[in-house]
Amino acid sequence: MTSPFRTFAALAALALSTGATAQEEIRIGVLYPLTGAAASTGIELKNAAQLAADLINGTDKSLGLPLAGAGGLPGLKGAKIKLVFADHQGNPQVGATEAERLIAEHKVAALQGAYFSTVTTTASQVAERNGVPFLNADSSSPALTQRGFKWFFRTTPHDELFVQNAFEFLRDLQKKKGFAQPKRIAIFAENTEFGTGAAKLQERYAKENGFEVVEKVLYPPKGTQLTSEVQKLKASRPDIVMQSSYLGDAILSMKTYKDLGFLPTALLANDAGFNDSEFLKTMGKDGNFVISREVWALDLGAKKPVIAKANALLQARHGVNFNGNSARAFTGVFALADAINRAGSTKPEAIQKALQQTNIAGADLIMPWGGIQFDATGQNTKGAGIIVQVQDGKYVTVWPFDLASKDVIWPMPGWDKR
């Protein structure tokens, strides 16, 4: 029986040594998957969040975002923001435990995280129980803001909005560019939460918008061939394929399309595998002309200089560009800092109230959004997605048209004409 207590003692020593923090800081707990399968994403998110905090704590005002260069939060006499990072390993139970630890031991004023929708679910429950604001910048499951939580705020748009965007894009093509309206849609999706959820929404919105769903194929994402699935798609003669795939199956499906000579008017992908940096590396020219929804793109910097400036800062520090995930994490820290600053206090109730009254202008964000303003469920109502197309091996923004850097290439040119 001595062994457990010895280990407890070791545990205690560790807890104490990491638990001591200065008093005049504003501590924000940040939960990301820092180890495990999504570790590389988690580290990107961590770096982006830390960059945001350092900008707010520093005195360089050149970026031009509110609070950047403020030397701490003016509403709290220049108190500095300290991000306390925790690793949830992509495990919902660990996420809940770590959230509780950050609240109890580090006395964090608010929490941010957690990228995985499943972990966000359990970690935000802990925040809700303890009455601590939870800002979610990067989980897109619609269910998260349907729980009636009072302490949960989400800055990113969720999956439903992304699906709506695709149909708005099609409508805009017809209205503003005079393209012939395609009618036949085929839905092609992997069969876990991501794909099945998106497929359901796409089916619903297709019908509401007067399209005909001619085929719906769900496939297991770990399969080694998609030949029969693609043959089914081809046989249904769709104008548009709406596809939700992870990286491996996205690449496999594209190769199969080419092998079987399947060429719809357009391929509208749902982010994920199609936007992974590995996708274009593997596909080369065959990856061109894919159209995908995105939350952010580097070429937005042409019309919104703050994006290019922020990206230069991240490049200087870590040698990587922002992407949709890290840009949202960065924005999350600014949104929290804005609320805490206006609250003028680290009391949870004051921050909660300030978050409810958040009204950040679109111009003050590095996102292509109308701004940040939360509805009663905690969802940001001014979020928006963009649509990108691969042109010459790069993702370029093609919609909304006022943010677009290039015209959309439509219909998709044949496999032999690349």
Beta carbon of residue 167, minimum distance to another protein (angstroms, whole number) = 23
Beta carbon of residue 87, minimum distance to another protein (angstroms, whole number) = 4
Task: Identify the burial level of 1 via C-beta atoms within 10 angstroms of its C-beta, where 0-12 means exposed, 13-18 middle and 19 or more buried.
Answer: exposed
- Asked whether the beta carbons of 245 and 195 are under 8 A apart, the reply is yes
**Dihedral angle over CA of 52, 54, 60, 66, nearest 10:** 40
Nearer to another protein, 39 or 308 (CB): 39
Beta carbon of residue 333, minimum distance to another protein (angstroms, whole number) = 16
DSSP state of 35: S
| List of residues 6+ apart from 49 with CB closer than 8 A | 30, 32, 83, 112, 329, 330, 332, 333
Residues that bind another protein (CB under 8 A): 1, 3-5, 7-8, 10-12, 14-15, 17-18, 32, 34-35, 39, 42-43, 46, 84-87, 89, 91-94, 96-98, 100-101, 103-105, 118, 121-122, 125, 128-129, 141, 143, 147, 191-194, 196-197
Nearer to another protein, 258 or 318 (CB): 318
Beta carbon of residue 383, minimum distance to another protein (angstroms, whole number) = 21
Q: Please provide residue 273's backbone torsions phi and psi, each rounded to the nearest 5 degrees.
A: -60, -35
Report the C-alpha gap between 311 and 328 in whole angstroms.
13
Nearer to another protein, 85 or 369 (CB): 85
Nearer to another protein, 98 or 138 (CB): 98
Nearer to another protein, 19 or 393 (CB): 19
Beta carbon of residue 254, minimum distance to another protein (angstroms, whole number) = 24
Nearer to another protein, 193 or 407 (CB): 193
305-315 per-residue burial string, b: 16 or more CB within 10 A, e: under 16: ebbebbbebbe
Nearer to another protein, 5 or 23 (CB): 5
Strand, helix or coil at 328?
Answer: helix
Residue 247 tokens read as 């990286």
Beta carbon of residue 70, minimum distance to another protein (angstroms, whole number) = 25
- Asked whether the beta carbons of 28 and 111 are under 8 A apart, the reply is yes
Beta carbon of residue 32, minimum distance to another protein (angstroms, whole number) = 8
